[in-house]
Structure 1
C-alpha cells in the first residue's frame, strides 16, 4: 500500500540507503515477513465481535458512535514552529489512524525485513481485533496563539469565536499539568490495549514535532449514546446522564452537537466542540455517607437508578420531588432552558495520593455545538448549587474544536483549517 511505501522510505533514512542491499537480500524470506507485518489488507481482519468502525465520513467517529468500554485520551503540545512540519505530521497521523481503526498495523508493521531500523508499529496490538477503535482529533486555543501570544502557524484569525478560554468555575482546583493542549486525540475501544496502542503510535510518529502534555486512561463508560441500553454506573455507584443524546437522533445531533454551516467558521462546519474535565471524587467521604443522603444528592434511587418517585431509570423525572440542590434536578434540560450536551465520560482510578486516598473519579467528555450555550452556563449553575460538589472537585480542564470528518483517502485531519 502507498502508506507503507512512504513509511518505509522514512525508516530507511535512519540507517541510510546503503542498508537497502541487505534488505533486498532478505527478499527470499519476504513471504514469511509479509504475513507478520500487517501491511496487507487482510493482515488483521476485523473478525466477529471486534469489528471496525468506519474512519471516513462527514463527522469524525467517536462522537455519536456507540460508546466503547475503554478510553485513552491524550493532549499534545506542538513543539515545532514550522507550519509545513505540522501539516506533514497531521497527514501522517491521519494515515496511521485510518489503518489502526480498521485493524491494520502502522506503515510496514511491527515486523519487517529491515531489522536495522525501528519498526513502524510498536506491535502490542498484533493479533488483536479492531475492537471498535475510534480516533477523534481536536485543536485547542493555543494552536492559534500560544501562551505568549505568538501566531506560530498563521492561523490566529481562523480561531472560532466559540473556542473560548474556559472560565474558572467556583470550586475548581485546576492542575495546569492536566489541563489545556494544542492538539488532542481521543482513542476509544472495547480493548484497552488497542486504545493504548493507538495513542502510543501517534506519539511515536510525532516525536520531535509534538509532545504529550497529559493523558488519561478511562474504563467503565459512564454514559451511553444508545438509549435502548442501560446507563452505566459511575464510581459513586449511580447512573447519571440518562437523558444523553442518542447517536442515531439526527435532529438532536444537528441541533445540539454539530457545528452548523452558518455558525462558522467554515472549516469547522460538521465538527463540534469537546470539553474534557478531570473530576476527582472524594471516594472515602462518599463511602461513609448514608444511602439516604447519597440518593438525595443525585435525586435517584441507587438500585434501579430511577428518578425519585419513579420505577425505571428512563421514566420522566418529577423534578419537584427532588431536593432543590439535587444533581439531576439542577442538570436536567428542563431546568436549564433545554440545554443538552452529548456525554462520553469514563471512570478512572490512578492509584492513591500521598495520604493513601484513592485518586479516582470521572473523566468527563462532552460534545456540543457551542460551549457558550452549553457547558459554560450549565457548569456555572452546577458549581454554585449542586449538592454533589461536597464530594467532587474539578482538577483538570480543556476545550478543543473538533473538525469535521475525514472525507476520503486524500483528506487529512484539520485540512480545511490549514488550506
Structure 2
C-alpha cells in the first residue's frame, strides 16, 4: 500500500475530492461542504493503530482482518448525479479523518458551533482508530438509467443467481452502494457507518445493516485461526495478505478488464448465513466433524493430526471409503474440486437476538469474500456447495449482495468512484 502523503490539509483534501464534480457539485453541497472544511493538520494517534485510506487498492480487503465489522448497504434516492458525486467526496474526506483518529470535520472552531448540529456524532471522541478501514463498492442496481452508467457496468458485476436452499430476505439483500467498516473497536466501526448515513441524508438512505463480531477467517500470517459459532476453525486455507501472487491471480481485477475504471479493484460478495445453532448443538461430535471434514478440537483435516496438514482428498479408510466424506464442506470448497479457483474470505460472526417466530437464536456467519470475478469464482463454488454440502442441513442463506469495489484512493483529490464517473 502506498504511504499516506504527509499532513495534507483538510481544505486541500476536500476541495480536490469534490473538484471533479465541478462547480455544480460544490454548490450542491452548499453549507454542508463549507462546514466540513478547516485548515488544521491531522491529529496524531498511537503508532500502529492506523491504516491509510490511500493506496493502490482499497483498505479493508488485503488488510489483516480486524475484530469488528459494521456493514451497510445504501440506496441512492436522488437522480442528481452531482449530488451523488458530492456525497462520495464527503465520504472520502470523512473516511480519511476517521481513519487517522480525527472527528469528522476536524477539530477547528467550525466543529463546535453551539447554534448548529455538530459535524461529528461524537461517540468516537478520544478513541483510537484501532486500524479502522472503510471500503466502498457499487451494486448492480446503481448502473440503471439514473446516472448514465449503463455502459460502465462490468460484466463481472452480475446479479447473483438463485442458489439451492436460499431463503433470502429482500430487506437484507442488494443495494446501490455497499460500505464495509472494520476496526478493532466496535464503537469506531459503528461510528463510521453512522456518520456516512448522516452525510448521505437527502442523497441516499440505508437499505440494511449488519454488525459483526469475531473475524471468521485467517487473513495474515500474523493471525491465529479463529473459530466460527459452530466451534470449528475457519479460514485455515484462506488467501493471506502476504501472498501477493494469489492476490494478483484471484483478488485484484487485472488490466484486461472490460471496464478500465475497475482495474486494481475487486468484487465483494456478502451473504448473511443463519446457523441453526440449537439443531447443531444436538448432533454427535463425529457427525459434526464429518460435516466439516475437520476435527473440532485441533482443526486438523480428517486423517491428519495438525491444522495445517495437507488436506488429502484421496485418502481412504479401512473400508475403502473416503476419509473426508464426499459431502464434507472442506472437500466441496477446496480449490482442487473447483478448478483451482480461490477467494479471499473475510467474514464475521453475528447475532441479532431471537427469532420472534421460532424463539430460536438468530445468529451465524456474515460471510464476506473478495475476488477478481464472482461469476467465475464465488458463483460456481457456491453452486457446488448448494447442491452437495452436508452443512446445508444446519444453515440458511438469508441475505445476499454483490458490489464492485473500485481501486484505492490515490491521495487528496481522489474519492470513491471518481474514475467511474470521469471515464
- TM over 0.5: same fold? yes
Cα 1:213–1:302 change in 2 (3 A) is same
Mapped partners of 1:333, 1:347: distance in 2: 24
**Counterparts of 1:359 and 1:93 in 2: how far apart (Å)?**
32
Cα distance, 1:227 vs structure 2: 3.3
CA displacement 1:63-106 (0-9 Å, x = unmatched): 00000000000000001000111011111111011111111111
CA contact (8 A) 1:11 1:117 kept: no
Change (3 A) 1:98 1:42: closer
Say whether the 8 Å CA contact 1:274–1:367 is kept in structure 2: yes
Where 1:406 maps in the other structure, the secondary structure is: coil
| Residues 112-163 of structure 1: per-residue CA shift (max 9 Å, x gap) | 4411000110010000001000000000000001xxxxx0001111000010
Q: TM-score, normalised by structure 2?
A: 0.88
Picking from 265, 272, 296, the partner of 1:271 is 265
**C-alpha distance after superposition, 1:334-388 (max 9, x if no partner):** 1111110000000000000112100000000000000111000000000000000
Matched, 1:242 2:232: no
- Partners in 1 of 2:369 and 2:116 — Cα distance? 41
| 1:46 CA drift (Å) | 2.1
CA RMSD of aligned residues (A): 2.3
Aligned to 2:325: 323
Contact 1:238/1:305 (8 A) holds in 2: yes
Superposition misfits of 4+ residues, deviation over 2 angstroms: 1-7, 9-14, 37-43, 108-113, 227-230
- Could you give the per-residue CA deviations for residues 279-307 of structure 1, whole angstroms, max 9, x where no partner exists? 00000000111111000100100001010
Task: Specify the alignment match of 1:46 in structure 2.
Answer: 45
Map 1:168-247 onto structure 2 (within 5 A).
Answer: 168-247=162-241
Deviation at 1:2, TM superposition (A): 3.7
**Where does the alignment leave 5 or more consecutive residues of structure 1 unmatched?**
21-36, 146-150
SS in 1 for 2:182: strand
Is 1:376 the counterpart of 2:341 in the alignment?
no
Structure 1 residues 89 and 382, CA, compared in 2 at 3 Å: closer, same or farther? same
Q: Which position in structure 2 is the counterpart of 1:284?
A: 278
Q: Distance in 1 between matches of 2:42 and 2:324?
A: 55
Q: TM-score, normalised by structure 1?
A: 0.89
Alignment gaps of 5+ in structure 2: 1-8, 16-26, 315-322
User: Counterparts of 1:42 and 1:370 in 2: how far apart (Å)?
Assistant: 37
CA shift, 1:41, in A, is 3.5
- What displacement does 1:313 show? 1.0
Shift of 1:213: 0.2
> Who is 1:83 aligned against?
81
Q: Distance in 2 between matches of 1:166 and 1:239?
A: 28
* Contact 1:109/1:120 (<8 A) preserved: no
- Count the aligned residue pairs: 391
1:107 is matched with which residue?
105
Distance 1:152 1:358, change over 3 A: same
Q: Which residue of 1 aligns with 2:365?
A: 362
CA distance in 1, matches of 2:308, 2:51: 28
Contact 2:29 2:86 in 1 (8 A): no
1:241 deviation in Å? 2.3
CA distance in 2, matches of 1:12, 1:415: 20
Partner secondary structure for residue 319 of structure 1: coil
Q: Offset of 1:4 from its aligned partner?
A: 9.8
Aligned to 1:304: 298
Rate the CA distance shift 1:3–1:285 in 2: closer, same or farther, 3 A: farther
